[in-house]
Amino acid sequence: MHLRCNNRNCAHTLDLHERVVACPQCGDLLEVVVDAPQAEPAALKRMWLERRMSNASADRSGVWRFRDLLPGPYDPDSLVTLSEGNTPLVHGLKTGKAAGLDRLFFKHLGWNPTGCFKDLGMTVGMTEAKFVGAKIVACASTGNTSASLAAYAARAALSAQVYLPSGKISLNKLAQAIDFGAEIVQVDGNFDAALDQLLNTTNKDIYFLNSVNPFRVEGQKTVMIEMMEQLDWQVPDYVITPGGNLGNTSAFGKALEELKEFGFIDRAPKLIVVQAAGANPFAELWRSGADEITPSSHPETVATAIRIGNPRSWRKALHSVKYTGGFVMDVTDEEIGEAKSLIGLDGIGCEPASATTLAGLRKMQSQGKLDRGATVVAILTGHALKDTDYILKAHAKLKGAHLAEVPS
């Protein structure tokens, strides 16, 4: 197992536990090259199911249960875990009808310990940080990463610093980071400015835990492994996911590529990425067919979790989309709001960024691009309580509109 530059023209390799943020040769992102497992796929599938009946800490985690395809090995007692993962695959009922689908499932990552998918990557990233002797861990965040990093740093007894765009994140998420004891660094500007400031920090004691960290990607890829297990290894037609900094897209594509390469599946589902129209540089790249992404200088959307104008993982994400035969699209804030309401009325709930998935499916359905019999898994990245202010404001606005319609 080792690290490799994501740039295929460079492909520089490093030791697995080298403490670097990017490739020292070309500056591109790094990825973990996982060795093929020794056991056959059928044997591993049985083992993973058997681990679900174990009370060992590593087995209770829906990430470390799949450790045969993760970096390591780490001492089981050294894992920084909060029993993350093990998130449900929920059948969309009203939402399925709204999207014209009989087999719509939501993989709800908001049911993780801090209420979002970041925990899946953070357990691996924080375990690695502890393994290499880090004392301080840090991230830039639109909110969710900060909460997750703070919680896992507290478990690892490490100091946590979170760089946040001042006044531009949900107070629910900020409250989580404060509650878990993180040091808050507020930055003028948006998420991209916060990440730039963090990456330009010269303090060598800081271990970076944004999704540019390849160990974060390794944890997040287990979403696809667990999803396949929940579908009895029957490959869905589509997996649709929100697109922000594109760490999840990168992780999902990597997982599907490895599962196919190692013989667990015979094909990959098409990976669809949905961005908000006000923060859509990846969608613009896809439509234009350009070789380089053009960052959005002023990204704006109600879906604060994906209000990102310069996604750092775009090359990895583009490879993932192309590998699976998928595509990238965008939806308006209005479409996101309508979809979020539908998800809530289905008894499921999510934060606004998650609702881009249903909004994207409804848009595809209206354009005649969806077969009613297709099996679709939509990724919900965050819990409904991640942004209660949005819900209350949307409800007040809707109630006001209804009152305005009543004759005086």
pLDDT of residue 287: 97
Indicate the DSSP class of residue 4.
Answer: E
Three-state secondary structure readout of 257-283: HHHHHCCCCCCCCEEEEEEEHHHCHHH
Q: Which two tokens stand for residue 64?
A: 């470390």
Q: Which CATH number fits domain 89-114+216-394: 3.40.50.150, 3.40.50.10300, 3.30.110.60, 3.40.50.1100?
A: 3.40.50.1100
Indicate the DSSP class of residue 382.
Answer: B
Q: Are 316 and 250 in contact (CB under 8 A)?
A: yes
Mean pLDDT, rounded, for 59-67: 98
pLDDT of residue 284: 98
pLDDT of residue 195: 81
Q: Are 122 and 182 in contact (CB under 8 A)?
A: no
pLDDT of residue 403: 40
pLDDT of residue 197: 81
Q: Which two tokens stand for residue 164?
A: 């946040």
Q: Is pLDDT of 408 > 50? A: no
Residues 78-118: tens digit of each pLDDT: 999 999 999 999 999 999 999 999 999 999 999 999 999 99
Mean pLDDT, rounded, for 15-37: 94
274 residue type, one letter? V
Residues 290-348: tens digit of each pLDDT: 999 999 989 999 999 999 999 999 999 999 999 999 999 999 999 999 999 999 999 99
Rounded to whole angstroms, the Cα distance separating 378 from 75 reads: 34
Give the burial class of 153: count Cβ atoms within 10 A of its Cβ; 0-12 exposed, 13-18 middle, 19 or more buried.
buried
Which tops the pLDDT comparison, 199 or 16? Answer: 16
Q: pLDDT category, 186, cuts 50, 70, 90?
A: confident
Crossing angle (nearest 10°) for helices 247-261 and 222-230: 60
Residues 355-388: tens digit of each pLDDT: 999 999 999 999 999 999 999 999 999 999 998 8
Domain ranges within the chain, ordered by starting residue: 1-33, 89-114+216-394
Q: Give the three-state DSSP class for 79.
A: coil
Q: pLDDT category, 406, cuts 50, 70, 90?
A: very low
Q: Give the three-state DSSP class for 351.
A: coil
The mean predicted confidence, pLDDT, of the chain is 93
Alpha carbon separation from 58 to 78, 79, 94, 150 (Å, rounded):
10, 7, 37, 21
Q: Is pLDDT of 202 > 70? A: no
Mean pLDDT, rounded, for 51-78: 96
Distance in Å from the first CA to the final CA of the chain: 72
Look-up: residue for tokens 């006001």? Answer: 400
- pTM for the full model? 0.93
